[in-house]
Chain A
Amino acid sequence: MSAATPFPKPLPPGSRRPAHRPAVDSVTTINTDGSRYFLYPADVRGVFTHWRQISAALLIAIYLLLPWIPVSGHPAVFLDIAERRFHFVGYTLAAQDVWLLFFGVSGLGFALFFLTALFGRLWCGWACPQTVFLEHVYRRIERWLEGDASARRALKLAPMTASKFFRRAAKHTLYLVASLVITHLFLAYFVSLPEVWRMMHDEPGEHWAAFLFVFVAAAGLYFNFAWFREQLCIVICPYGRLQSTLTDDHTLSIGYDAKRGEPRGKLHRDQATCNLIGYKAPEVKLGDCVDCNRCVQVCPTGIDIRHGLQMECIGCAACIDACDEVMAKVHRPAGLIRYDSFAGLSGDVTRWLRPRTILYGVLLVVGATVAALAFSSVKPANFLVYRAGGAAYFVGADEVRDQFMVRLVNKRTAPATFIVSTEGLPAGLRQSGFESPVTLAPMAESVSPLVLQIDRKVYTGPFKFTVRVRDAARTFTLTREVEFMGPDARLLEEEDHDKGIKR
């Protein structure tokens, strides 16, 4: 471990700032002249860091492996744009089911509201791809090639030598490789891995859209993870800004126990080695914070958590681990910085059940229930009945006729046979079309006419009826209510009467 580097940190050239110290009235990573203050977060060890590494490894593994795992003939998650079929672990949706996206997006929103009200920015520190890739891929590469925080800072200030050049070149090459791996696998989610592999062996010009996407996205990721980093969380991401509307005094966040810690002060050797050698207590009884600045040095967004919860905090818990390690060394209880609510930090009890969490919870449950119903209503086929072109109805010498078109879509990856039937039709009505079952190839669709005629002497006016589609294996039924349109029956009666036709 490098020794704690005392403030002020070495300033980048051109900075007008006298001492670069985190403050609540400015963003640490932006100098007064608008230039960037690049951070060198120190290494940290501890319980939360350990579990964050495990969860990040798991999340990265899921991201990288999903396109490789076949489930019923397709990758586990395969958003097949070309065929407009979306496969989720054996569950297939078609373009016609896109309305379910509403429940997917709003469900994510409600879940995020609920979790944020309870646990603050758990997402940012533990699961957001920005944090996961930055902390556990790119910063690892940097740490491996350039050493710890002080070594990295020294390297930055050092003149360019062959050693520095090669280290930097190796780092940026690995950054680019990592970015390209991420974007190629991202593409695989939409076109499948074999297809990505095939495209990679063709000329770029043959798949210029995919080629452009992969390389432009990789360049974006490289820029983001090599240089932009925490600026995305601080300036661009809207979630951090929303935070203040979603949280309250009882929301769990990472906080500093000022009651216990203040007044902070440097630890004096005689204080640690006890009163045996005639230790005289200082006039002011000092708090537990020894003002070692470790919490500031490990912070990936460059804030001082002792100023309280700030917009920049991504809830990564690095300062908790850093402080706990120091507290153990000075034989004081851990948890001077901890996951706690404002209420908890000021000595009150955190209330988990409160109007906000109840409201968000109810919204989440309602949303999840409706979403479950919506998803369970999705059948392996779609069908639509619409009126064929031309007039809405036709009145002939003997009959009133309606013409419909029935569109059937087989969403399955196997051939399927459908039986189309009508229900609720009055007696004396003749149906033509769909006398026999329709067999559709995998993922095929068909449009066929359905013609209904009713004897004009029997006709009593427009009515509603039901069109039903069953699959031959009787696993599901789809129905649609359709209106048989026609003139007022009295008009036909009059016309027949005028023509002298007996009814």
Chain B
Amino acid sequence: MNPPSSPPPPEDPGIKLREHSYDGIQEYDQRLPNWWLYTLYGAIVFWIVYWFAHMIAGLATTDGAKVDAAMTRLAATKMASSIDVTNDKLFWEMSRNPVFTDAGKQTFVSLCVPCHLPSLRGKSENPVAVGPDLTDTAWIHGGTPKEIYVTVAKGVIAKGMLAWEPVLGQKKTAEVVAYLLSHHQPGETITAEVSK
């Protein structure tokens, strides 16, 4: 190992040495490439413009405003395609239209049959089934279409009935309700059923 000594002078007299010396090691003080410096200056200028536009002048839309606008658009689209889920008459109309009931049946078969059985008869058909009978006129959580919609949409957490609206969306949930109602008649007598 060579003893610490001052570094050899650079071949080029244009290169300066920095004054600092660390354990006998000195650094050359070379100029950065111009393209590198221009990139840095450009970034600084960009930062000032960006900061001015966003924080001072309010020229640019803030992220918060963009999110709000997007949420408003989303809500508008939803509302445009949403239906009045408190309108019993509408549900009864849907329940007589095969476009809705067929789509509802498809969802029902893939998601609801493990508890309510393909026949919709649940515990009436098989006492060990999880879900209650959906074809009889006795209802635990209300038998009007809008009450049935709420039961399907929000679920009955204590019993294990899941909230399906967050999963399926309003349209598919309403279709399932229409499919259930296709097993019923408008104006039939509704009785209250006490859960076992």
B130 CB-CB contact with A under 8 Å: yes
Contact in complex: A34, B32 (CB < 8 Å): yes
Report the Cα distance A447→B180, complex, angstroms: 21
What is the interface residue range for chain A against chain B?
Answer: 35 or more
Contact in complex: B14, A16 (CB < 8 Å): yes
Contact in complex: B110, A17 (CB < 8 Å): no
Q: Which residues of A contact B45 (CB under 8 A)?
A: none
Contact in complex: B12, A390 (CB < 8 Å): no
CB distance from A11 to the nearest CB of B (A): 13
Contact in complex: A403, B160 (CB < 8 Å): yes
A391 CB-CB contact with B under 8 Å: yes
Report the Cα distance A211→B158, complex, angstroms: 53
Contact in complex: A451, B130 (CB < 8 Å): yes
Q: Which residues of B contact A397 (CB under 8 A)?
A: 196
Report the Cα distance A16→B196, complex, angstroms: 96
Report the Cα distance A412→B114, complex, angstroms: 27
Q: Which of A21, A391, A396, A432 contacts B157 (CB 8 A)?
A: A391
> Given that A26-B30, A36-B34 are contacting pairs, would A453 and B130 also be in contact in the complex, using a CB cutoff of 8 Å?
yes
Contact in complex: A26, B33 (CB < 8 Å): no
> Given that A34-B31, A235-B36, A397-B196 are contacting pairs, would A17 and B114 also be in contact in the complex, using a CB cutoff of 8 Å?
no
B152 CB-CB contact with A under 8 Å: no
CB distance from A461 to the nearest CB of B (A): 20
CB distance from B17 to the nearest CB of A (A): 10
CB distance from B156 to the nearest CB of A (A): 9
Report the Cα distance A390→B163, complex, angstroms: 9
Contact in complex: A449, B12 (CB < 8 Å): no
State which residues 111-135 of B face A: CB under 8 Å: 111, 113-115, 128-130
State which residues 357-403 of A face B: CB under 8 Å: 388-391, 394, 396-399, 401, 403
Q: Which residues of B contact A446 (CB under 8 A)?
A: 110
Interface string of B6-33 (1 = CB under 8 A from A): 0000111111000000000000101111
Q: Which residues of A contact B15 (CB under 8 A)?
A: 25-26, 32
Contact in complex: A451, B114 (CB < 8 Å): yes
Contact in complex: A449, B31 (CB < 8 Å): no
Q: Which residues of A contact B35 (CB under 8 A)?
A: 36, 228, 231
A17-B14, A34-B33, A451-B114 known; 5 other A-B pairs, CB under 8 Å? A34-B34, A448-B111, A448-B114, A449-B162, A450-B114
Which residues on B are within 8 Å of A, measured CB to CB? 10-15, 28, 30-37, 110-111, 113-115, 128-130, 155, 157-160, 162-163, 196
Which residues on A are within 8 Å of B, measured CB to CB? 16-18, 21, 23, 25-27, 30, 32-36, 228, 231, 235, 388-391, 394, 396-399, 401, 403, 430, 432-433, 446-451, 453
